[in-house]
Structure 1
Amino acid sequence: MLELTNLSKTYNQHQIFKGLNLAVPTGEILTIVGPSGIGKTTFLKIIAGLLAADEGELTLDGQSLALDGQRKGADVGVIFQDFNLFPQYTVLENITLAPRLVNRLNAIASERAAKKLLGELDLLDQQNQYPFELSGGQKQRVAIARALAMQPRILAYDEPTSGLDEASTERVIQIINDLQEQGVTQLIVTHDLPFVEALDSRILDFAQFTREARNDV
């Protein structure tokens, strides 16, 4: 269970959201929708520990997680809109890098785990390719595999279908649904409403939090 209590964030003296309270049960897909520029990605980065909150509390399965923007753990894996793959590394190297450097997993174990993920995501044939050789859909799946390699308890996606064709979008939907069946909690920021409708998710209109913040100012 992910629980947020009284979460607030101000940026450049602008109150983005204030007193945000939210609970996300384990295994739920929460799709976060709303107009551009209202703070959805900022919210996602705070959950992931990449950006500091002004105040509030975050707990995951009863364990308190830091909100100072300097969290070291891999409890939340993030799949960025632009994938953020390392261009100088192959697909396999992109996936094994963090487990080896952060989790101190040896090369044999990290490659075995990475190849298992690549097999599940239909990417084994691309394991020795570089990001520039991949399609957008393949890059998205590599980004998902890289996040999963750290065995996070939550996956957070920022616009996972942006720029993808219909076939690649359907593949991402299948992956997200499969992960839900495995009990993985997933947070998804998106503008793609047909994509949202294809998921068994709870929809959160983030505009409600920004309206509340404006009303409190």
Structure 2
Amino acid sequence: MTTEKMTVHKALAELKTMDARISKAIGSTAFVVANKHSNRKINGKPVSEFCEQAVSAYKSASALIRRRDAIKRAVVLSNAAAKVVINGAEFTVAEAIEMKNHGIVYQQQLLDQLAADYQQAQAEADKQNGKALETRADAYLKDLFGSSDPKNLSEEVKKARQDFIESQTYELVDPVGAYREMERLEKEINDFMVEVDAALSVANALTEITVSY
């Protein structure tokens, strides 16, 4: 059995090259071929040389796969145990990676949807209220009373105008407190993303793992 120690940083650097190395070893030769009994060569090489190369390539690929699996296993176990502190909160390295790759993505989607809904609702309210609403109120009074001139409005007509404006005013129905939640989510996302890469880099550089295979 081979046993060695390395930092997580070194392990991750090696893992980045392993897929290509394994694929190269697997594809370097055929492991089994059909050959006429009378042929003394395979692809221009003596049968014995082909056999040696096939066995060597198979052993190389198998060794690389075992090493890759052992390194990956050690990194996964380490990530589940090693701790980092990000924005005052403690995470395992695995939790921090999951949060960075998936959790924050969903938080950002939620923030984007809140912002889009809030902006759309506010724009619609602004469009329907203000001068546009005043104009509709004047048209309503003119249809109802024949005049919308403020100088000629009785108290009854003024009240009718005010009642119309109140009933036709657009308001935001915001049960979740969108603006407050947008501020909170944006701060959480920014604070996490500012610190997560540095925290993981430090942890990977300092954490040592044992690789056995």
Please state which band the TM-score falls in when normalised by the shorter chain: under 0.3
Higher helix share: 2
Higher strand share: 1
TM-score after normalising by structure 2: 0.20
Structure with greater contact order relative to length (CA < 8 Å, sep ≥ 6): 2
Larger radius of gyration: 2
